[in-house]
Amino acid sequence: MVIGTAATLALYCPRCGKIQKHDISRFALRDSVRIDLACSCGQIQATLTACRHQYLLNIPCLVCQMNHIISLNKKKFWHTNFEKIYCARENLEMGFIGQKEKIEQKIADHKREFDSMVHELDVDDYGEYIENPPVLLEILNRVHDIAERGHIVCHCGKSAVEINLLPDGIELSCAHCGSHKIIEARREQDLAYIASLEKIELVAERRSHQKH
């Protein structure tokens, strides 16, 4: 029987929005030991505590404005190939757990998906252009879901919506009247914002009137 001695947690950082991998050793995670999982930016992303028959992952959720306590079976923890960690209430992807190579493959798959999306939008050299590709991809997916439900609306009544990538977000604009909405896509807080929306309304740009 092969005994797993290492596992990896990859979590989205609520401060910088990037995904941070944490390599966990069975020997370091003894009973009653608590490990703080910190991002390279210094933000504590979660804590992992060893109990008798389980590990407890305490992870803050910006959507729910509370911490989720996720119970992880000890045996399963060390033998899981790959699983996603979700906010159960809002179905928000918070990270991954499993074997390091599987997680790295999933992150690479996300990058290829983003490359494909950027190619369709005809944006060149996004590596130096986009501030946080993983967060932007997740927000684009959520915007797409809202659009599929017909919940992106413009005050003019038309439904011709165009999308434009910005370094730190996306801009939705009405091709008919020019009304628009900018959605930031830099950090996990921005994911929380888009997850809270049931509808996106495009707003006409206000014109300033100067006295002569």
Residue 208 belongs to a domain: no
Residue after which a domain boundary falls, among 79, 106, 133: 106
Same domain, 44 and 133: no
Residue 112 belongs to a domain: no
* Number of structural domains found in the chain: 2
CA distance 44 to 176: 46
Residue 25 belongs to a domain: yes
pLDDT higher than 70, residue 145? yes
Residue 143 belongs to a domain: yes
Residues 161-182 have a mean pLDDT of: 87
Amino acid at position 190, single letter: D
CA distance 160 to 184: 21
How does residue 118 score in pLDDT terms, banded at 50, 70 and 90? Answer: low
Same domain, 23 and 58: yes
Q: Cite the beta strand spans of 161-210 per DSSP E.
A: 161-166, 169-174, 180-184, 200-202
Residue 66 belongs to a domain: yes
Question: Structural domain of residue 43, as residue ranges?
Answer: 6-106
pLDDT higher than 50, residue 208? no
Same domain, 33 and 73: yes
Same domain, 84 and 56: yes
pLDDT digits (tens, 9 = 90+) for 57-90: 999 887 777 899 999 998 899 999 999 998 877 7
Same domain, 136 and 80: no
CA distance 148 to 140: 12
pLDDT digits (tens, 9 = 90+) for 96-112: 999 999 999 988 887 77
CA distance 77 to 56: 11
pLDDT higher than 90, residue 46? yes
Q: Is 177 exposed, middle or buried (0-12, 13-18, 19+ CB in 10 A)?
A: middle
Residue after which a domain boundary falls, among 77, 106, 135: 106
Query: Crossing angle, helix 100-120 and helix 133-148, to 10 degrees?
Result: 60
In contact, 98 and 6? CB cutoff 8 Å: no
Per-residue pLDDT at 129: 64
CA distance 201 to 207: 19
In contact, 25 and 48? CB cutoff 8 Å: no
Residue after which a domain boundary falls, among 62, 80, 106: 106
Same domain, 80 and 127: no
Per-residue pLDDT at 167: 81
Same domain, 96 and 186: no
